[in-house]
A and B are shown apart, each in its own frame.
Chain A
Amino acid sequence: MANKPMLPELMKTHGVSRRAFMKYCASLTSLMALSPALVPRVAHALETAMRPSVIWLSFQECTGCTESITRSHAPTLEDLIFNSVSLDYHHTLQAASGHAAEAAREQAMKDNYGKYLLIVDGSIPLDNPGYSCIAGISNLDMLKETAAGAAAIVAIGTCAAYGGIPHANPNPTGAVSVSDIIKDKPIINVPGCPPIPVVMTGVLAHFLTFGIPELDELGRPKAFYGESIHDRCYRRPFYDKGKFAETFDDEGARAGWCLYKLGCKGPTTHSACATVKWNNGVSFPIEAGHPCLGCTEPDFWDNGGFYKPLSVPSGDYRKMGVAAVVGGAAVGVASALLAKAGKAKAVQNHETVDAHDLEKSS
């Protein structure tokens, strides 16, 4: 199915007008966070792009990422993007099962060797390959095998990108991310738990039109992960004015004040939630009154507690403080007693000063 119909053909068969294509290109450009001046280039790229084969592998995951990307029912941008690719293997979505499913994957790999796009969600267990297998093949083997012929890999969701929840302490399966295993392929990380659907499609659109987007040091497309939630947050003015919700049901919470003190990780979290938002742009967690968990960041699960402000130490420091008081006092008493003993000795050794022995004998 790959390399055949291109997007304009698809649109024509759906009875979509050129004006609609213009609207689509404009919105897509906005979605990819590109300048409106690039709309013609996006249009041209879409008109000429080949329809790529996509293999989607799901490892230690919860299917939340797939849920997220398939959430919209209306013919939206996401649909169009997905219609422009050939999803040849996705064990949750595909109709085929068992040997037929695996055969589809192998066929797609063979037909498109070196050209297909590999999408991965979920982490890969290293402690014991048996922890997670598909069709008797361990995740590790399947990833290595499938990655070998991929043009590029998109690690969808925090698990695939950074290990995610399976990787959280104490990481019983020895879960790692795609980039921990595959070193010789371009990897685009699209973290989030799950990622925003339009971000996933935006990344795919970018890959289809302009290839690999510009990535940050954590392998994330800068267009969507370039800025922190905090910098783009509509509640930021309250942070700057020093107005904070103290509990989830106080005046500040009702008035929509900053959620920093309720543990918001916005300042250290890079994601487009605050601008792109969720559920077709309806809202995002902070707008719904909940602090950001920081799910697009590595090890977000181990960041010291979701409701602990960033500035609050994550450990049980009170115990440490009490121990320090006791320890400090003990050492202090010992040291002081030593000093006092020295002084007592000095008092004992006091040689009475007489007016006639104030001069040195020598």
Chain B
Amino acid sequence: MNNPAFDLLMWARGPGFDIALAIFIGGIVLRLTEIIILGRKKDMAPAKGNGFLQGLKTIFSRSVPRKGLIKFAPVTYLGGYIFHLGFFIAFFFFAPHIALIQDAFGISWPAAGRVIIESVTALAVLAVVALTYSRLTDPVRKSLTTFDDYLVLLLSVLPLITGYVAVNKLFGDPTMMLAVHLLSVEALMIAFPFTKLMHAVSFVFARYYNGSIQGRKGAES
């Protein structure tokens, strides 16, 4: 006799994860290779500032919003921050996830408690709801939004919701919900290299280029 939920979980932990990982990593490498090999011409103008250092600095400094702008797009800014932070904390500080990272890379750190994980998860989900609402109603967001954007929002929020449901046993068989959670993550991984989710990696390059272009001129970035 088999337990379909258990079998699905084992598939998601086994071949499912392997397939998703291969597409995820292979896809990211592919897209980054496409970008890097394209290259850029050496800048002949004598530099006034250090483009390399400012490029590196901008990778981090651009995470801080420019003064006075939040009030013009509060939903995008606050929703964006809450979602990213929530997703980050829930992903990197929930013990089962740390166990995965430890298994893969051999490093680990203390886990956060349930109250923190569940609070940030709930906040991140609410943020996605707000961001989706803003895409549906705000004229600028609406005019920019394509199918890709909604897909990305859906794929980002599903692991949060399924994870919350699986841990709290809100409904469904917990083993099944755990399997569904893993499958939702695998869907996210598979879509990652081929959707706007890719920004989570390529932003490092974009910010570096931006900072180095501005930095060479001695201008702020």
Contact B99 A312, beta carbon cutoff 8 Å: yes
Q: A309-B99, A315-B17 are in contact. Are A332 and B37 (CB under 8 A)?
A: yes
- B44 interface hit (Cβ, 8 Å): no
- B175 interface hit (Cβ, 8 Å): yes
Which residues from B are CB-within-8-Å of A333? 33, 37
Q: How many interface contacts (CB-CB < 8 Å) are there between A and B?
A: 162
Query: A336 — nearest CB in chain B belongs to which residue?
Result: B37
Contact A313 B18, beta carbon cutoff 8 Å: yes
Contact A268 B38, beta carbon cutoff 8 Å: no
Contact A268 B9, beta carbon cutoff 8 Å: yes
Contact A260 B34, beta carbon cutoff 8 Å: no
Complex formed: what's the CA distance from A343 to B38 in Å?
A: 9
Q: Which of A301-321 contact B (CB under 8 A)?
A: 302-304, 308-315, 317-318, 320-321
B179 CB → nearest A CB, Å: 9
A190 CB → nearest B CB, Å: 13
Contact B18 A325, beta carbon cutoff 8 Å: no
Q: Among the listed stretches B24-32, B48-56, B57-65, which one makes contact with chain A, having 4 or more residues with CB under 8 Å of it? A: B24-32
- B13 interface hit (Cβ, 8 Å): yes
Contact B1 A332, beta carbon cutoff 8 Å: no
- A44 interface hit (Cβ, 8 Å): no
Which residues from B are CB-within-8-Å of A261? 95, 98-99, 102
Q: A240-B113, A311-B99, A313-B14 are in contact. Are A298 and B34 (CB under 8 A)?
A: no
Which residues from A are CB-within-8-Å of B9? 268
Q: Among the listed stretches B73-81, B104-112, B133-141, B151-159, which one makes contact with chain A, having 4 or more residues with CB under 8 Å of it? A: B104-112
Contact of B38 among A161, A219, A299, A340 (CB under 8 A): A340
- B68 interface hit (Cβ, 8 Å): no
Query: A261 — nearest CB in chain B belongs to which residue?
Result: B99
Contact A163 B34, beta carbon cutoff 8 Å: no
- B96 interface hit (Cβ, 8 Å): yes
Which residues from A are CB-within-8-Å of B29? 324-325, 328-329, 332
Complex formed: what's the CA distance from A311 to B178 in Å?
A: 9
- B146 interface hit (Cβ, 8 Å): no
Q: Among the listed stretches A73-81, A241-249, A279-287, which one makes contact with chain B, having 4 or more residues with CB under 8 Å of it? A: A241-249
B68 CB → nearest A CB, Å: 38
B160 CB → nearest A CB, Å: 15
Which residues from B are CB-within-8-Å of A310? 13, 96, 178
Contact B30 A323, beta carbon cutoff 8 Å: no
Contact of B14 among A239, A241, A314, A327 (CB under 8 A): A314
Contact B13 A314, beta carbon cutoff 8 Å: yes
Residue-wise, chain B 94-126 has the 8 Å CB interface mask toward A (1 for contact) of 011111101110001011111101000000000
Contact B33 A162, beta carbon cutoff 8 Å: no
Complex formed: what's the CA distance from A241 to B115 in Å?
A: 8
A256 CB → nearest B CB, Å: 16
Which residues from A are CB-within-8-Å of B103? 308-309, 312-313
The count of chain B contact residues (Cβ–Cβ below 8 Å) is 53
Contact A244 B111, beta carbon cutoff 8 Å: yes
Q: Which of A123-179 contact B (CB under 8 A)?
A: 161-163, 176-177, 179
Query: A298 — nearest CB in chain B belongs to which residue?
Result: B3
Main secondary structure of the interface of A (DSSP, over half): helix
Complex formed: what's the CA distance from A143 to B18 in Å?
A: 41
Which residues from A are CB-within-8-Å of B99? 260-261, 309, 311-312
Which residues from B are CB-within-8-Å of A243? 111
A334 CB → nearest B CB, Å: 9
Contact A315 B23, beta carbon cutoff 8 Å: no
- A218 interface hit (Cβ, 8 Å): yes
B192 CB → nearest A CB, Å: 12
Contact of B17 among A176, A313, A323 (CB under 8 A): A313
Q: A323-B22, A324-B23 are in contact. Are A297 and B38 (CB under 8 A)?
A: no
Contact A267 B174, beta carbon cutoff 8 Å: yes
Residue-wise, chain A 319-362 has the 8 Å CB interface mask toward B (1 for contact) of 01101110111011101110110010000000000000000000
Complex formed: what's the CA distance from A311 to B167 in Å?
A: 12
Query: B12 — nearest CB in chain A belongs to which residue?
Result: A313
Residue of B21, B28, B32 most packed against chain A (CB within 10 A): B21
- A180 interface hit (Cβ, 8 Å): yes
Query: B15 — nearest CB in chain A belongs to which residue?
Result: A315
Which residues from B are CB-within-8-Å of A217? 173
Contact B18 A315, beta carbon cutoff 8 Å: yes
Complex formed: what's the CA distance from A231 to B95 in Å?
A: 17
- A228 interface hit (Cβ, 8 Å): yes
Contact of B26 among A228, A325, A336 (CB under 8 A): A325
Contact B113 A242, beta carbon cutoff 8 Å: yes
A158 CB → nearest B CB, Å: 10
A-B contact pairs, 15 of them (CB 8 A): A260-B99, A268-B174, A298-B3, A298-B7, A309-B100, A309-B103, A312-B100, A314-B13, A314-B17, A317-B17, A320-B21, A328-B27, A329-B29, A340-B38, A343-B38
**Lowest 5 CB-CB distances: which A-B pairs, in order?**
A332-B33, A328-B29, A328-B26, A336-B37, A311-B96
